[in-house]
A and B are shown apart, each in its own frame.
Chain A
Amino acid sequence: MSAWIHGLGVVGGFGCGRAALEEALAQGRVQPQSLAVPTGQGIVELPAYRADTSPLERFVPKRALRRVDGFARMALLGACLALEDAGLAPAGNAGTGLILASGQGATGSTLGLLDSFFEAGDACASPIHFANSLHNAAAAHLAILLGADGPCITLSQGPRSMAGALLTARLWLEEGRVSQVLVGCVEELSEVMGYAWLKTHGTLLVPGEGAVFFLLKSTPEGARAELGAVELGADSGVWLPRGASHTQIYGSGPMTPGFDVAAACILLQGQIHCLAEEPGEGFGAVTLLPPL
Chain B
Amino acid sequence: MKPPVAVSGLGCRCAAGDTLGACMESLRLGQRHPVPPVRLHTNHPAPFPVFEVLGFEHPPELLRTSALLLAAAREALRDAGLDEGALGDLRVGVCVGTTVGCALSDEPFCRAFREGQDPNLAPLERVLQNNPAGVLARTFGLGGPCQNVVNACSSGTDAIGLGASWIQAGLCDVVLAGGADELSRITLNGFIALKIVDPGPCRPFDLERRGLNLGEGAAVLVLESEASLLRRRGRARGRVLGYGAACDAHHQTAPHPEGAGLRRAILDALHRAGVEGSELAFVNAHGTGTPDNDRVEGRVFADLLPGIPFFSTKGHTGHTLGAAGAIEAAFTLASLEAGWVPASAGFQTPDPEIGSQPTGRVQTVTGRAALSTSLAFGGNNAAVVFGVAP
Contacts and interface: CB of A to CB of B under 8 A. Distances in A.
A105 B252 contact: no
B245 A144 contact: no
Give the contact-size bracket for chain B. 35 or more
Interface in A131-170: 131, 133-137, 139-141, 143-144, 146-158, 160, 164, 167-168
A282 B168 CA distance: 22
A51 interface: no
B152 A105 contact: no
Contacts of A23: none
Interface string B234-252: 0000000000111111111
Given A114-B111, A122-B42, A200-B121, A148 B249 contact: yes
A40 to B, nearest CB: 4
B103 A105 contact: yes
Interface stretch (B54-62, B186-194, B341-349): B186-194
A125 interface: yes
Given A40-B116, A130-B190, A196-B121, A171 B169 contact: yes
Contacts of B111: 114, 118
Given A131-B253, A171-B165, A157 B380 contact: no
A136 B137 contact: no
Given A136-B378, A137-B377, A115 B147 contact: no
Interface in B122-178: 124, 128, 131, 133-134, 137-138, 141-152, 158, 162, 165-166, 168-169
Given A123-B45, A144-B251, A235-B143, A155 B104 contact: no
Contact of A115 (B93, B114, B124, B133): B114
B145 A167 contact: yes
Given A123-B44, A135-B102, A164 B376 contact: no
Contacts of A107: 104
A155 B145 contact: no
A267 B111 CA distance: 44
B152 to A, nearest CB: 5
A110 B252 contact: no
B260 interface: yes
A149 to B, nearest CB: 4
Contacts of B162: 153, 168, 171
A28 B250 CA distance: 42
Contacts of B116: 38, 40
A115 B105 CA distance: 11
B169 to A, nearest CB: 6
Contacts of B107: 114
Given A122-B43, A136-B378, A282 B252 contact: no
B129 to A, nearest CB: 8
B179 to A, nearest CB: 14
B105 A110 contact: yes
B110 interface: yes
Contacts of A232: 93, 144-147
B147 A157 contact: yes
Contact of A127 (B152, B194, B245, B379): B194
A201 B131 CA distance: 22
Contacts, number: 204
Nearest to A193: B104
Given A107-B104, A234-B143, A149 B246 contact: yes
Interface string B30-53: 000000000000111100000000
Interface in A236-277: none
A208 B387 CA distance: 47
Interface centre among B105, B162, B193, by most A CB within 10 Å? B193
B2 interface: yes
Contacts of A168: 162, 165
Contacts of A164: 145, 147
Contact of B378 (A134, A157, A282): A134
B255 to A, nearest CB: 12
A155 B247 contact: no
Contacts of B244: 151
A202 interface: no
A160 B131 CA distance: 13
Contacts of B44: 122-123
9 contacts: A123-B45, A135-B151, A136-B376, A148-B247, A150-B247, A152-B380, A154-B150, A175-B168, A281-B137
Given A149-B264, A151-B245, 10 more contacts: A110-B104, A113-B105, A125-B192, A137-B377, A141-B252, A148-B249, A149-B247, A152-B379, A157-B134, A281-B134
